[in-house]
Structures are given as C-alpha cells and as structure tokens.
Amino acid sequence: MTHRLNHRAGRSGPPRLGRRLALGLAGAALAAPALRAQSAAIRIIVPFAPGGSTDAVARLAAPGLTQRLGHPVIVENRSGAAGAIGTEAVVKAAPDGQTWLLTFDSHAVLPALLPNLAFNITRDLDPVMLIGGAPYVLATRPDRPFRSLSEFVAAAKAQPDAISYGSTGNGTIGHLTMVLLQSRTGTRMAHLPYRGGGLAVNDTVAGHVDAMIGSAALVAPHIAGGTLRALAQFGPTRLPALAPVETAEEAGFPGLQAEAWWGVFAPSGTPTSGIDRMNAALRESLTEERVRRQMEETQQARLVLSDPAGLRTFLDRQIEVWGGVVRSNAIRAD
C-alpha cells in the first residue's frame, strides 16, 4: 500500500510541479518583450546640435509627450551634413513608433543641396505634423544708413558686391531668401555664411557685416534690446513682437516669403494609428498654456499643428520653391 502511494506520488506530484514551472517560465518569456516595450524610451531625433530652435522645440514638447504616450521621451541630437545624418538615422529606424524626427526648414533643401543623399525625404519618411513657423527677418545695426528693405536694396544697387550680409550657413533658407531677393532686384551682395546664428548676430552688432538674416527667434531679442534694427520680416503677416516692421510683400516684393519651420516625421511604414496618436499627443502638448506661450514668445512661432496631409502638402511646396533656387544658382553646402 505504501509502495503504491509512493508510486502515485512519483507519477503525479513532480510532473504537475514541472508543468506549472514550465508554464510559468513560458509566460515570463512571453511577457518580457511586452514589459520591455512598455518601458522602452521613445526617441525624438533632432538632426542639429543642442541649443538651436529645433532642439528647444523638441525639449518643450517632450514632457507632455511622456505624459500622454506613457513612455519616457528622450531628445537625441545627431548633427551634421545640414541635418542629413540625423535624418538618415530615422530613415533606417524600425517603423515601430519608437523613433521620430523633429527637424527644421533646411529639410526641404536637402535633396537639392546634397544630391547624393542615401535616402529620399518624401519616400522614406512619413509626415506627422507641421508644428508651425516663424518668419525670417533681415536686420542691421541701428547706425547703418538703410532703414527699410527698399533702402537696403537701393544701397546694394548703387554699390554692387559692396553691401554684405550674414546668414546661418550656405544653402540655408535665410541664404536662399537673399539669393532670391538679389535675382529679383538685379543686385549683387557679399554673402558671409556663419556656422551658427549667434556668430552672425555678434558680427552684425559689431559692424563686421552690414546686415544679417535669421529667424525671428534669433533676432527679436536683439531688436528689442536696441542692438539691431529690423529692415523687413518675410512672413505672410506681421508678428506681434515686430508689429512696426513691414513684411517683404508690404515693401513691394510680392510672393517673397520665407519662414523657419518645424516638422515631425516618422520612418516610412509607421502604422497610421501610431502617427495619429503622436499627432494628437503633440497637439495637446504644444497647446498647454505654458508651452504655447514659450513657443510664441521665445521662438516667435505661429503655431499650425497640422495633420499629416497638411505637412505633406507644405513640404512639397517648400521643396519646389527652395530646391529651384538651389539648382538655378548652383548652390552647394559648405
């Protein structure tokens, strides 16, 4: 009898324990990827160095996105090649909603400026949102003789190649705006490309260059402080912070618009549901009162917060306009 009881225990006790252990291990193995997915950080790649407006916009949005998406959101700077290095990292990332690109207006110029790109910006990236824009502004020292865009152009006509202007780099939208202005007015100006907006501002304030073109976020504090005077803003309407400054169109240059802008993209093939979720989270995060105020005051931004289709249409137009300026003037990156 004892033998039979022990025999039954030997057959039935340990196998049940083994099955439970095996099932538990299998469940843990299946749960591990899910747990990792829940805790995995979402990356927003900014293809420029820290400190610029694109980096600032990403970091303003990140806390709200963390809250709404339920994952930590990390801003990762990958600068170089006019934004191409960071953009390529996103193109090569898995389309799983873990990696996003937040980039700047120069994105639209990449195909024309760098014809040997290893990716196609319209085929290899899916649009998510046009966040908004801020006009480019032409500014000079207050003691310079020109007080408007018309007077600046007149001085350039009178002295070909003598009037100089700085920009934040060769092939940037600011530079291309001035190239377009010269082609429309038959003027020639000396271009000084800088490696950053701060350097261009410093040399303009110091009088080493006659004028500079930069985003409103870059020059507005210096205009308010009296170290620079705005000659024109290139947005569709006047900014509240620069209400006395006429737009280029008001100055007699129809269609001459140039805005810094920020857009969000995903690797091609990212599920529509994921794109829509990110779009909604961005919209809610950027319309928080504190964030919206900082965007409008610090970045001088006109918020758009478009749907994906709106960004696609906008980007196509930007590529057409600025790519044409690059190609017709044989402009190359520094």
The tens digit of pLDDT for each residue in 228-261 reads 999 999 999 999 999 999 999 999 999 999 999 9
Contact by Cβ (8 Å): 96, 86: no
User: Which of 132, 130, 135, 104 lies closest to 235, judged by CA?
Assistant: 135
Give the model confidence (pLDDT) of 152-178 as tens digits. Answer: 999 999 999 999 999 988 999 999 999
φ and ψ of 192, to 5 deg: -115, 100
Q: pLDDT: is 47 or 334 the higher one?
A: 47
User: Which structural domains are found in the chain, ordered by start?
Assistant: 39-133+261-328 (3.40.190.150), 135-242 (3.40.190.10)
* pLDDT for position 100: 98
Instruction: State yes or no: pLDDT of 281 exceeds 80.
Output: yes
Whether 235 and 220 have beta carbons less than 8 Å apart is answered as no
99-133 pLDDT, tens per residue? 999 999 999 999 999 989 999 999 999 999 999 99
Locus of tokens 């160095």: 49
- Sequence-separated (6 or more) residues with CB below 8 Å from residue 36: none
pLDDT score, position 6: 42
Neighbours of 193 (CB within 10 A): 16
Encode pLDDT of 179-231 as tens digits. 999 999 999 999 999 987 889 999 999 999 999 999 998 899 999 999 999 99
What backbone torsions phi and psi does residue 266 show, to the nearest 5 degrees?
-125, 160
Nearest Cα neighbor of 140 from 156, 122, 125, 124 is: 156
Q: Give me the pLDDT at residue 27, please.
A: 47
Q: What average pLDDT score do residues 87-92 get?
A: 98
At 268 the pLDDT is 98
For residue 39, name the pLDDT band (cuts at 50, 70, 90).
low
- Is the model's pLDDT at 84 over the cut of 50? yes
CA-closest candidate to residue 153, choices 180, 192, 135: 180
> What pLDDT, on a 0 to 100 scale, did the predictor assign at position 316?
97
Chain segment 5-37, per-residue pLDDT in tens: 344 444 444 444 444 444 444 444 444 443 344
Percentage of the chain lying above the pLDDT 70 cut: 88
Question: Among 51, 55, 93, 52, which residue's Cα sits nearest to residue 74?
Answer: 55
CA angle 63, 65, 71 (to 5 degrees): 95
The pLDDT value given to residue 213: 97
Give me the pLDDT at residue 153, please.
97
